Structure 1
Amino acid sequence: MKAVKSTATFLRTYSSASKYTYETLAVSVPKKNVYHVELNRPAKLNTFNLPLWSELKQCFNALHKEPECRVVVLSGQGKLFTAGIDLNSLIEYFSKANDIDDPARRARFLYDWMKECQASVTSLEDCTKPVLSVVHGACIGAGINLVTAADVRYCTEDAWFQVKEVEVGLAADVGVLQRLPKVVGNTSIARELCFTARKFDAKEALQIGLVSKVLPDKESALNHALDVAADIASKSPVAVQATKQNLIYSQDKSPKEGLEHIALINMVNHMGEDLTKSAIALATKGEKPEFEDY
């Protein structure tokens, strides 16, 4: 039997989630300080149309600033995570570009759109709250660009992935070429996947390090992600967010630069109360401390 939420908990959860209403996303708060963002175009296989690109950025920028949000779980509604870009939307967009006669102005129009899409995906990294993604079914094209910007990736046994862009005559331009080699730590396999656009399954995704765990089905994968998210959310948000900031910063920096970055962050954070609370609890083996929203 499922536990029934108290009225106070339900009202808090409802009011927190109701602030975030989108056409292409569904936002809920299934656990304390854990926000669940779902791609919500199941009838269109969660394909990326223009509103979805825009709303992803809006949503993650908002959650970055939301004090009650400490962790985000990202998944997709319906039978799969995402089938990638909405081709009808893409054709419509290029038709608009082709209506611009001057090559310089047409190029600027295309450049500005690409930068907006890049910013949409990068908003997962810019959000200081850890983002845990859950893939079920297919994760194609724009989807794999998206999950490589997440902090942690889980998938189901039936999941499969595809860096599809070369099959539709494009070089991927919203993040997978930059992030996938770093995520898997193997430029050879990353380049093969990007050059060939071949499909690969959950077993291979785990083997190459794209995902950290494979779960039997969507329900178990979401439950696992939410449990991990709740564990992270119980820790100092000051410490967790500083950790993410430094991990992202240090990806393409020298160890010396990364060390200087965390020293500058922690010379402030060490004066905060979270460190004292945690240290006392560990030293006295007392109850786990409660931390203020941040």
Structure 2
Amino acid sequence: MENFRNLEIVQKSPNSPVFYLYLNRPSLRNALSHDFFTEFPKALWSLDQNPNVGVIILSGNGDHFCSGIDLKVLASMSKRVQSNDRGRTGERLRREIKGMQEALTAIERCRKPVIAAIHGACIGGGVDIITSCDIRFCTEDAFFSVKEVDLAITADLGTLQRLPSIVGYGNAMELALTGRRFLGAEAKELGLVSRVFASKDVMDEQVTAIAEGVAARSPLAVTGTKAVLLRSRDLTVDQGLDYVATWNSAVLLSDDLVEAISANAQKRKPFFAKL
């Protein structure tokens, strides 16, 4: 398995379809480096293409999930895009931003479900990351902030686009304009996370169990559900229904369907081929 400077991939149990992807700069509270934006989509692609992977749990090594983008990245990017021509400076900066956006959108492009397990700080770019994830859980002491406004930045890596559909437009506007810190209990109340756990150890145990449960389902149904939900986000109901009809016309009549029906009739656990 490929090694990364800013990330760590761990399969905690042999033969388990659940793989952990850790942000791995604990001494810097997992601040996002320039290398992260190259490594992250590569890591997700490798996990997506690995047939042994059913579900990915995204977490952070150390005491925090992610403290946001490393400010050194902003400083170096500012120098890197400079040109005597204002137009070319702007075009270079746009390309830099688009590349960083694509790195986080890789979570949505990954066919396998990505579950965020959040503890400690989840600030700025950390919120960009978790809003791209399919399911989110956190500890009681986790804290969140859409921090960019305090750095004179309009958040540009996905939070402003994804957060409103998760917590509602009004709540997203308030959080983004104030940059205020809020804790796990409020994150649950807002709908940002599905469940809150008393400690990281409890969260890790419970989230692994949830991921194992998802991974035990038909991989065609799991990846299809993710793809259809993401696509339907940008469609009308009629368009979404048409899309899922087309999707299922291609994959519904599968060996997985036969196995699921047989297992149900025989009152046994189904076994599905890897994807």
Please indicate, yes or no, whether the TM-score normalized by the shorter chain is above 0.5: yes
Structure 1 equivalent of residue 207 of structure 2: 225
Q: Deviations over 1:146-184 (max 9, x none)?
A: 000001100011100000001001000010001001011
> Does residue 1:109 correspond to 2:100, yes or no?
no
| Displacement of 1:223 | 1.2
Counterpart residue identity of residue 33, structure 1? P
Greater shift after overlay, 61-70 or 126-135? 61-70
| Displacement of 1:222 | 1.3
- 5+ residue gaps, structure 2: none
Q: Deviations over 1:77-97 (max 9, x none)?
A: 011111101001211111222
> Does residue 1:250 correspond to 2:232, yes or no?
yes
> Does residue 1:164 correspond to 2:150, yes or no?
no
Structure 2 equivalent of residue 206 of structure 1: 188
Structure 1 equivalent of residue 42 of structure 2: 58
Query: Within 2, Cα distance between the matches of 1:63 and 1:265?
Result: 23
Q: Deviations over 1:176-214 (max 9, x none)?
A: 001001011x21111000011111111110101000111
Counterpart residue identity of residue 274, structure 1? D
| Displacement of 1:64 | 2.0
Structure 1 equivalent of residue 161 of structure 2: 178
Q: Deviations over 1:26-47 (max 9, x none)?
A: 0011241111000000011100
| Displacement of 1:128 | 1.1
Structure 1 equivalent of residue 138 of structure 2: 155
Q: Please state whether the residue corresponding to 2:116 is helix, strand or coil.
A: strand
| Displacement of 1:284 | 2.5
> Does residue 1:288 correspond to 2:253, yes or no?
no
Query: Within 1, Cα distance between the matches of 2:115 and 2:248?
Result: 25
| Displacement of 1:61 | 2.1
RMSD: 1.0
Structure 1 equivalent of residue 19 of structure 2: 35
- 5+ residue gaps, structure 1: 1-18
Q: Match for 2:246 among 256, 264, 285?
A: 264
Aligned residues: 273
Q: Please state whether the residue corresponding to 1:74 is helix, strand or coil.
A: strand
Query: Within 2, Cα distance between the matches of 1:119 and 1:50?
Result: 14
Query: Within 2, Cα distance between the matches of 1:20 and 1:164?
Result: 32
Query: Within 2, Cα distance between the matches of 1:218 and 1:55?
Result: 26
> Does residue 1:126 correspond to 2:109, yes or no?
yes
Counterpart residue identity of residue 55, structure 1? E
Query: Within 2, Cα distance between the matches of 1:254 and 1:91?
Result: 42
Query: Within 2, Cα distance between the matches of 1:292 and 1:283?
Result: 19
Query: Within 1, Cα distance between the matches of 2:101 and 2:89?
Result: 19
| Displacement of 1:111 | 0.7
Structure 1 equivalent of residue 171 of structure 2: 189
Query: Within 2, Cα distance between the matches of 1:129 and 1:270?
Result: 18
Structure 2 equivalent of residue 141 of structure 1: 124
Counterpart residue identity of residue 265, structure 1? W
Query: Within 1, Cα distance between the matches of 2:84 and 2:28?
Result: 32
